[in-house]
Structure 1
Amino acid sequence: MSPATIREEEVYTDPDLIIKLREKLVSFLTQIPGTLNQEGDESRVASIGKDCVCSGGTGWEPERVAVVDGGGNVMALNAGYIGIAAALGILIEGRRVRKREVSEPEIVPPTPSELSYYEAYDQVKSVVDKLREAMVFETAYNLLDEEPDLLIIDGALIPYHALVKPVAGTRLELEAFERYRKAVVRLHAEAEKRGVGLIGVVKRPRSKYLSHWLGVDGFDHVVLSRLLDEGEYSPAPPKEPPRVQEALHEDLYRIVAATRPRFTFLRTSPSQPPYRVDFSHNTAYLCKEILAYLYKTRTREGIPYPLMKVDEEVKITNRLLRELYEDALHDAINKYIEQGFNAIIPVLPEYGGV
């Protein structure tokens, strides 16, 4: 079997099923705006304050900006699920990349003998997610030696629930979260010690902090889409997340208590909901200047240039993983094919898996 023979599965879906799926989706989607846009929500949300990046501020702007992102994915082989995680940091001056900090990729599970310990995709994906985030903060820590004015995490400084929720409670999963926790606390402490601004930008937030304060329903960024125009942010000034059990998992509470981050939402494009921007507690005083920088460097899609740059360089897409797999599979076939076809079955893709 040659890697060239591996092809995408052609799917021929029943026409009647397609019609029923469309009808169900149309019915559901047309109910969403009316369900979430409740009378009185805007006035309640407005009470937390909003501001515009175009007014006020000291005029400070970072010259050296470090930005870090991580990538990861999972594929299914006959031998089991294999996950891979990596992180990349870049140092930008103006719009030129001056340095790249590439982490050593890690595979989950770390040894082939452990492949059969993980029966489901989610078990491996949970470890990969925690490991990826740990590697992001570890790579960011290394970039502090480059003396950036601003260090940006492409992701949250306020951890999200799914990151700590154990799927299987395996040793690797628990160790990956503990590694993440230590990396977060260490980065905050060192950035504060060196006087480096530290923020996280969450492009796809799923927080519901406003619901705990104001009694509105829906995710924060969806609710704030009705309040914020382009270039505006809210809450103003940034606030600490609510420290209640419903808003923060116990393990997240410990991280938040140790690092004391604050957050706001910045709208960079009229066609996109606002992004959440998390600030380390010693960076929040530069809130307006940093938000102005993010807004100034936005691309046509509304994504700040540093984030777009690092995201496109570290993304491990399904297509990339498949191409890397096919290349590695070629070497595995050459090594074991003399033992017969059955010898390479473990490294072949599970039906529908790659």
Structure 2
Amino acid sequence: TKNYSLTGGDLNPIISPYHEYHELLREIASDLANNLAGLVKKAEDIAPKLRQVLPIFSVRGGDASGVRITAVDAGSNGKDLLLGYQPVSLAVGATFLGTNKLGNPIVATVKPPKSYFDDEEGSKFSSLLGYYLMYKVAETLLDETDMVVLDGPLYLPRNYYGPRGRAHSPAYFEVYDAALRSLGILLTRARASGKVVLGVVKRIRSSYVSSWLGLDGLPDSLLASNLLREGEALGPIPMSPRWEDVLPWLDDASRYRPWAIFVRKGAKPFRMDLPEYALDKAEKISNVLYSISEPSSGLPIPLVAVDRLSKLTDRQASLIYKLMMSEISSKFGGSPDRTAIFSLQRGEIE
């Protein structure tokens, strides 16, 4: 095995004969294990000191049977065809009294855009459209609830969805703008009517705590898991310092700035994104979410319910594709040359 240094860089690629392939895999696994073990050790060592200075409080739950909670989630998927990526998105919302469902859920979608997308833009567009639909469903159900719980972050991750760094289609700009405006309308209506809109992030990939404390390389998921015991919450922690830039047309936009609160019930904590106007209710809301969360997943039961209803799996996307191809075959008389134009890109699973 020989190491070669890249000119002007710090990387040292390992170039080996192919018969050492499996040995290289073992080395990669060992390096990953060492990296992760070191990260965990660093978090474990610093946790006792951080518990003394961070805002940690108890959440023991309470009676949430009289609280109306609307949970909303979006599903997105699509197929990459020779004619471009075809996005599919929908959102599902349902209102609960505590953990008991009130009435029937609602589902929302939109007609597919008449645009060509490559797979990168198409995948982002599908997810972005899901955010837009989620905000619209939440606004539709706002009058019948006390609290709206969105699956995912409260605000759009602008560094990912923002149309910068590459060319985008007009449809992408249209949906991006519509999603931000829908979020703004939802938040202003909720605040005006005394309602709370919050986001629950199940898969935490942020690093707000370490950024706030000036630490390096410690993700929130690791810190929260080491800092919090069962029945504890951490926060509020400031999130985006440029929240006003996300919705610049809102009056007093700083009142909607999101703050992070980490709540632990079960093995893994979740992150709650709470707008600034509701910070005075942070502990009460944390207790409500804790009391309606499953012991197994540690997640609010209403959110788990709509998550199951809103999933758009590869199997469902394939079913939509087959139904589409059946209709195309009837329109073009089953001509192989013409229907081939609508086929999947190489590597796509039908």
Residues 234 and 265 of structure 1 are in contact (CA less than 8 Å); yes or no, is this contact kept in structure 2? Answer: yes
Going from structure 1 to structure 2, the CA distance change for 1:60 and 1:335 (only over 3 Å counts) comes to closer
Partner of 1:323: 319
Distance, in Å, in 1 between the alignment partners of 2:48 and 2:237 is: 18
Partner of 1:100: 105
Using structure 1 for the length normalisation, give the TM-score.
0.81
Distance, in Å, in 2 between the alignment partners of 1:211 and 1:125 is: 30
Going from structure 1 to structure 2, the CA distance change for 1:346 and 1:71 (only over 3 Å counts) comes to same
Distance, in Å, in 2 between the alignment partners of 1:128 and 1:87 is: 12
> Could you list the per-position Cα deviations for residues 87-146 of structure 1 after superposition, in whole angstroms to 9, with x for gaps in the alignment?
111112342241322212342xx11xx32xx3x31111222222211211111111113x
For the pair 1:87 / 2:91, whether they are aligned, the reply is: yes
Partner of 1:262: 259
Distance, in Å, in 2 between the alignment partners of 1:198 and 1:23 is: 47
Residues 164 and 252 of structure 1 are in contact (CA less than 8 Å); yes or no, is this contact kept in structure 2? Answer: no
Partner of 2:218: 218
Pairwise CA distance, 1:165: 5.4
Partner of 1:178: 177
**One of 79, 82, 105 as aligned partner of 1:78:** 82
More displaced stretch, 85-94 vs 167-176: 167-176
Using structure 2 for the length normalisation, give the TM-score.
0.82
Q: Pairwise mapping of residues 111-190 of structure 1 onto structure 2 (< 5 A)?
A: 111=114, 114-115=115-116, 118=117, 120-145=118-143, 147-160=144-157, 161-164=159-162, 166=164, 167-190=166-189
Q: Which amino acid letter does the alignment assign opposite residue 276 of structure 1? A: R
More displaced stretch, 207-216 vs 81-90: 207-216
Name structure 1 gaps, 5 residues minimum: 1-13
Q: Which amino acid letter does the alignment assign opposite residue 293 of structure 1? A: V
Residues 66 and 151 of structure 1 are in contact (CA less than 8 Å); yes or no, is this contact kept in structure 2? Answer: yes
Identity of aligned residues (%): 24
Distance, in Å, in 1 between the alignment partners of 2:257 and 2:93 is: 24
Pairwise CA distance, 1:311: 0.4
Going from structure 1 to structure 2, the CA distance change for 1:269 and 1:165 (only over 3 Å counts) comes to farther
**One of 48, 54, 57 as aligned partner of 2:54:** 48
Partner of 1:5: none
Partner of 1:227: 227
Pairwise CA distance, 1:307: 0.7
Pairwise CA distance, 1:153: 0.9
Residues 69 and 89 of structure 1 are in contact (CA less than 8 Å); yes or no, is this contact kept in structure 2? Answer: yes
For the pair 1:195 / 2:200, whether they are aligned, the reply is: no
SS in 1 for 2:226: coil
Residues 164 and 251 of structure 1 are in contact (CA less than 8 Å); yes or no, is this contact kept in structure 2? Answer: no
Going from structure 1 to structure 2, the CA distance change for 1:294 and 1:123 (only over 3 Å counts) comes to same
> Could you list the per-position Cα deviations for residues 17-53 of structure 1 after superposition, in whole angstroms to 9, with x for gaps in the alignment?
5664454234313321213542435524641220111
Distance, in Å, in 2 between the alignment partners of 1:22 and 1:124 is: 36
Going from structure 1 to structure 2, the CA distance change for 1:164 and 1:337 (only over 3 Å counts) comes to same
Name structure 2 gaps, 5 residues minimum: 1-17
Partner of 1:11: none
Q: Which amino acid letter does the alignment assign opposite residue 227 of structure 1? A: L
Pairwise CA distance, 1:173: 2.3
Q: Which amino acid letter does the alignment assign opposite residue 152 of structure 2? A: G
Q: Pairwise mapping of residues 286-325 of structure 1 onto structure 2 (< 5 A)?
A: 286-299=281-294, 300-325=296-321
Pairwise CA distance, 1:202: 0.8
Going from structure 1 to structure 2, the CA distance change for 1:293 and 1:281 (only over 3 Å counts) comes to same
SS in 2 for 1:269: coil
Going from structure 1 to structure 2, the CA distance change for 1:37 and 1:194 (only over 3 Å counts) comes to same
Distance, in Å, in 1 between the alignment partners of 2:201 and 2:181 is: 21
Distance, in Å, in 1 between the alignment partners of 2:129 and 2:333 is: 34
Distance, in Å, in 1 between the alignment partners of 2:206 and 2:85 is: 30
Q: Which amino acid letter does the alignment assign opposite residue 263 of structure 1? A: A
Distance, in Å, in 1 between the alignment partners of 2:64 and 2:95 is: 19
Distance, in Å, in 2 between the alignment partners of 1:233 and 1:279 is: 13
Residues 262 and 278 of structure 1 are in contact (CA less than 8 Å); yes or no, is this contact kept in structure 2? Answer: yes
Distance, in Å, in 1 between the alignment partners of 2:212 and 2:231 is: 24
**One of 339, 344, 349 as aligned partner of 1:349:** 344
Residues 62 and 150 of structure 1 are in contact (CA less than 8 Å); yes or no, is this contact kept in structure 2? Answer: no
Q: Which amino acid letter does the alignment assign opposite residue 92 of structure 1? A: F
Going from structure 1 to structure 2, the CA distance change for 1:16 and 1:293 (only over 3 Å counts) comes to farther
Residues 208 and 237 of structure 2 are in contact (CA less than 8 Å); yes or no, is this contact kept in structure 1? Answer: no
Residues 71 and 85 of structure 1 are in contact (CA less than 8 Å); yes or no, is this contact kept in structure 2? Answer: yes
Q: Which amino acid letter does the alignment assign opposite residue 169 of structure 1? A: H
Distance, in Å, in 2 between the alignment partners of 1:22 and 1:331 is: 50
Residues 128 and 176 of structure 2 are in contact (CA less than 8 Å); yes or no, is this contact kept in structure 1? Answer: yes
Residues 74 and 121 of structure 1 are in contact (CA less than 8 Å); yes or no, is this contact kept in structure 2? Answer: no
Distance, in Å, in 1 between the alignment partners of 2:218 and 2:244 is: 22
Q: Which amino acid letter does the alignment assign opposite residue 340 of structure 2? A: I
SS in 2 for 1:76: strand
